[in-house]
């Protein structure tokens, strides 16, 4: 299978065996804690728990296969116990994506179409059943005593499929996170505190580990068995660290995540609002300046304008051709320009004026100001004949 994890003559329970045992044990304990945890994000906990259970089974499967003593013991008693983790490993990708989706979207539910994600698992089960489980027990023992079956084309292809699956679903998860960040801009004017880089970090780590293992697997013969074995063991250590980080960050942050609703599909030409409502929004922004409220959301603005949230979203996207983030911050930029050019505000720093204009993030303020004005805030202030003790 993986050209790399353990040499077939390894001593039972050497340090590398213990790493896999620790990984499996931690995964099982943490999975139980997650599944039993009484948090608002229980579905996310259950999916992460299922992911950890699969990781535990796979780690134990790898341990038994690559430890000569354990493998011999299993072959003498229940040879059909081998490869359970190999089959279930193809669940890791779907479980990762479902976990990410459950964290991002309130409306996440399993659908019948989601069963299509189980096809690779079924294929792996059929392939291993045909090539191993249906063999007479004596043939199974012969195929695995010296790991001949592990070096077969069937197992090489299944191992490649497993790693490629995790990488593919990881990339799909990154696309979902990017889309989520765009959806945030439909609801919030300040999105920095809501983007939560921890989830993206988890997915990138999963992709990196899978890519590492895939590289070792594909290059095993060309780089030599000893070197491939060493790199595979390093991958086990990295994965052990990752499991601990994964659960710690998930337990700490998942319940703080701002879930959003996936946008409903609407006809492209649907208008759904009146000209009077557009005027009401413009008048509200001009006269009451709600954009100065730092934590303003589309829900807040819809209440102030007495316009349904969905209708307001249509007005912003279709009439003003901006999402909520762009719409509110365009007013904030104009407010910042007035403050920066006002001689009466010369005693204030740029950061203070940034806050006065409704911004909470220096990086967002600088980026948007440069985009709209063509100058940095400090350059603009100097061009207006003003100066400050601190620049942004």
Give the separation between CA 343 and CA 320, rounded to whole angstroms: 32
User: Cβ neighbours of residue 71 under 8 Å, at least 6 residues apart?
Assistant: 8, 64, 65, 82, 144, 145
Alpha helices in the chain (DSSP H): 15-36, 42-66, 68-77, 84-88, 92-104, 119-128, 137-145, 153-184, 197-223, 225-253, 275-287, 298-305, 309-314, 324-341, 350-356, 362-373, 377-383
What pLDDT, on the 0 to 100 scale, is given for residue 259? 55
* Structural domains present in the chain: 15-256 (1.20.1070), 275-383 (1.10.10.60)
| Three-state SS at 105 | strand
Q: State the Cα–Cα distance between residues 291 and 308, nearest whole angstrom.
A: 18
Angle among Cα 205, 60, 47 to the nearest 5 degrees reads 50
Among the ranges given (13-17, 96-100, 245-249, 305-309), the one the predictor scored with the smallest mean pLDDT:
13-17
How do residues 202-219 score in pLDDT, each as one tens digit?
899 889 989 988 888 888
If one counts every other C-beta atom within 10 angstroms of the C-beta of residue 374, the result is 9
- Residue whose C-alpha is closest to residue 212's, from 167, 172, 155: 167
For the cut 50, the answer to whether the pLDDT of residue 96 exceeds it is yes
Query: Is this prediction's pTM over 0.85?
Result: no
Which of 26, 28, 368 has its CA nearest to residue 185? 368
- Give the pLDDT of residue 221: 67
**Mean pLDDT of the residues in the chain:** 83
- Give percent above pLDDT 70 in the chain: 83
Mean pLDDT for the stretch of residues 81-99:
93
Give tens-digit pLDDT for 152-162: 999 999 999 99
The whole-number pLDDT of residue 8 equals 41
Mean pLDDT of 123-132: 95
What residues have CB less than 8 Å from 376, skipping those under 6 apart?
366, 369, 370, 391, 392
Would you mind telling me the total number of residues written for the chain in this entry? 392
**What is the per-residue pLDDT for 268?**
47
pLDDT digits (tens, 9 = 90+) for 242-272: 777 776 666 665 544 455 555 555 554 456 7
- The reported pLDDT for the residue numbered 386 is 64
Angle subtended by helix axes 298-305 and 275-287, to nearest 10: 110
183-195: pLDDT as tens digits: 888 888 877 655 5
Which pLDDT value is given to residue 9? Answer: 45
Output the pLDDT for position 182: 83
pLDDT digits (tens, 9 = 90+) for 4-39: 444 444 444 566 777 778 888 888 888 887 777 655
Q: Among 58-62, 94-98, 176-180, which range has the highest average pLDDT?
A: 94-98
Give me the mean pLDDT over the 119-137 stretch.
94
Question: Which of the four pLDDT bands, split at 50, 70 and 90, describes residue 302?
Answer: very high
């Amino acid at each position: 299978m993986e050209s790399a994890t353990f040499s077939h003559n390894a001593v039972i329970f050497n340090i590398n065996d213990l790493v896999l045992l620790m990984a499996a044990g931690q995964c099982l304990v943490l999975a139980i804690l997650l599944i039993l945890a009484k948090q608002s994000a229980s579905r996310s906990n259950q999916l992460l728990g299922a992911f950890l259970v699969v990781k535990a089974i796979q780690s134990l499967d790898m341990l038994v296969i690559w430890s000569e003593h354990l493998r011999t013991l299993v072959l003498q008693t229940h040879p059909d116990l081998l490869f359970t983790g190999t089959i279930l490993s193809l669940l890791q990708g779907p479980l990762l994506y479902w976990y990410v989706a459950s964290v991002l979207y309130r409306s996440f539910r399993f659908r019948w179409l989601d069963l299509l994600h189980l096809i690779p698992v079924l294929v792996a089960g059929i392939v291993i059943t045909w090539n191993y489980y249906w063999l007479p027990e004596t043939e199974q023992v012969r195929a695995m005593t010296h790991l001949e079956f592990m070096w077969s084309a069937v197992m090489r292809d299944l191992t490649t499929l497993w790693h490629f699956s995790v990488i593919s679903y990881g990339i799909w998860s990154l696309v979902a996170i990017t889309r989520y960040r765009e959806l945030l801009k439909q609801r919030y004017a300040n999105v920095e505190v809501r983007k939560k880089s921890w989830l993206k970090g988890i997915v990138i780590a999963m992709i990196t580990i899978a890519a590492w293992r895939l590289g070792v697997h594909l290059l095993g013969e060309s780089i030599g068995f000893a070197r491939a074995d060493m790199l595979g063991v390093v991958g086990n250590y990295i994965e052990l660290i990752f499991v601990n980080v994964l659960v710690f960050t998930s337990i700490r942050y998942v319940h703080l995540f701002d879930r959003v609703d996936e946008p409903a599909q609407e006809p492209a030409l649907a208008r759904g609002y009146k000209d009077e409502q557009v005027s009401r929004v413009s008048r509200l922004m001009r006269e009451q300046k709600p954009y100065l409220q730092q934590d303003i959301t589309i829900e807040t603005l819809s209440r102030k304008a007495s316009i349904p949230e969905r209708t307001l979203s249509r007005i912003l996207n279709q009439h003003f051709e901006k999402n909520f983030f762009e719409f509110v911050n365009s007013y904030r930029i104009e407010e910042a320009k007035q403050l920066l050019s006002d001689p009466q505000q010369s005693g204030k720093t740029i950061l203070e004026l940034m806050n006065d204009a409704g911004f909470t993030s220096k990086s967002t303020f600088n980026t948007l100001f440069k985009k709209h004005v063509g100058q940095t805030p400090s350059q603009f202030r100097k061009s207006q004949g003003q100066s400050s003790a601190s620049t942004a």
